Amino acid sequence: MPPSLDRAKVIAAGVFSLILTVGIARFAYTPLLPTMIEDAGLSHFWGGWLATINYVGYLGGALLSMSIKDLAVKDRLYRLGLIMAIATTAAMGLTDNIWLWAILRFLSGLSSAAGMLLASGLVMHWLMRHGYRAELGVHFAGLGLGIALAAITVWGMEQMLPWDTQWLILAAIGLALLIPAWGWLPSPKHTAATAKTQPHSATQLSPFFMRMFLAAYFFAGIGYVITATFIVAIVEDLPGLKGQGPLAFLILGLAAAPAGALWDLSARRFGYVPTLILAMFLQVPAIIMPILIPGLVSVLLSTMLFGATFMGVVSLVLTMGGLLYPAQPAKLMGKMTLSYGTAQILAPALAAQLAAISGNYNASLYLPAASVALGGVLLVILQIKNPISLGHSTADKEPVRTG
């Protein structure tokens, strides 16, 4: 098989794993949330807490990923995560017990780490071992495509099928995605040689850099999780936009799909931290535009910009983890994910509480907008006081084999 075809299949496996574990197992809950509130007896309060529990599961998966260094073990957990994603999605439609839902959302969050962290690490490892550029922009297209798939599937089913049947159909789609996600990502065979074949040695980052970077990503996590979790419910609550929530979620996913690769190109030219700063500051108006400028056009532009920028932030940060610690990409990936994941645990429940108190989601959008702006300011300070040269200055040193 030609090397370029091997590369395409490995990257595609990562993409399909993200569609399954994140797009379906994790984010199908977002377009289904209004229907479950209306037809399944789910309250706004519990809607927020189920989202929080899901992120607790994801954080648990991040901790597990960070603690394991054996690639063979990571590969086995990756495949277990794929199966768990399908099982928990199907089980959501087989019960209406809130406590069982809570357990299932936790397990689905755990499985989403298989796509976001384990798959990304395995894909990056394969690319670097085979002399390709270590970028994950194309891999993370799976996140946007998964969101788009969940949105369009739920949108097509919501008028015809009850909420529980929708979960079962999503699980069946996940079963089809399992085939390439499982079969096209080769199991690592020579883990002992990994460190010798890496193109870079680890970069020593100052404690100041790590503190500021972790804090900035924490605030970015608040901005991401509130908007991504409640965007459908937020749009449905806006005057004159009843029924348009799934459309907004679809646009968000379609905008996110190519964004990672485009932000990678920008980072290669201008540097990773400056590009990350731009992505975060562009995300601020994307979050608050629906309440500042009411109307469908504003909402769709907002979700398009949000999808492109949040995907850029995630892709850039996790790619930086691989470039700064090539022998152990999970070292920085795990720390950043813990920061991001902590925000994802705290923020949804807080947003749901604010919505319950105020009767609308306005405060739930001002909060993430302010958080992302603060994160961007921290990155500006970091770039001034403790810049790192990563991106334009390292592009020529990175492997650029294209097959």
Helix (H, G, I), strand (E, B) or coil at 44: helix
CA 282 to chain CA mean position, Å: 18
Cα–Cα distance for residue pair 190/211, rounded to 1 Å: 35
115 neighbors 17 (Cβ within 8 angstroms): yes
**pLDDT reported for residue 390:** 63
Q: Structurally, what CATH architecture does the domain formed by 3-186+194-385 represent? A: Up-down Bundle (1.20)
The shares of helix, strand and coil residues in the chain, as percent rounded to the nearest 5, are 80, 0, 20
DSSP letters of 271-313? -HHHHHHHHHHHHHHHHHHHHHS-SHHHHHHHHHHHHHHHHHH
pLDDT digits (tens, 9 = 90+) for 361-383: 677 788 889 999 999 999 999 88
Residue with tokens 């790619």: 319
pTM of the predicted structure, to 2 decimals: 0.79
Q: For the chain, what is the total number of helices (H) and then of strands (E)?
A: 14, 0
Name beta bridge partners: 401. 132
Domain boundaries, the chain: 3-186+194-385
3-state secondary structure of 188: coil
How many CA atoms lie less than 13 Å away from 195 in the CB half-sphere? 7
Do residues 150 and 170 lie in contact, with contact meaning Cβ atoms separated by under 8 Å? yes
- Please name which of 7, 179, 3 lies closest in space to residue 86, comparing C-alpha atoms: 179
Ordered per-residue pLDDT tens for the chain, 403 residues? 556 668 889 999 999 999 999 999 998 998 898 889 888 888 878 887 898 898 889 888 888 887 888 889 999 999 999 999 999 999 999 999 999 999 999 999 999 988 888 898 888 888 888 877 766 778 888 988 998 899 889 888 988 899 999 999 999 999 999 999 999 999 887 544 443 444 444 556 788 888 898 899 999 988 887 777 777 777 877 777 777 777 888 898 899 989 888 998 898 888 888 999 999 999 999 998 888 887 888 888 999 999 999 888 988 887 787 677 666 656 667 777 778 778 777 777 677 777 677 666 677 788 889 999 999 999 999 889 877 766 654 443 443 333 3
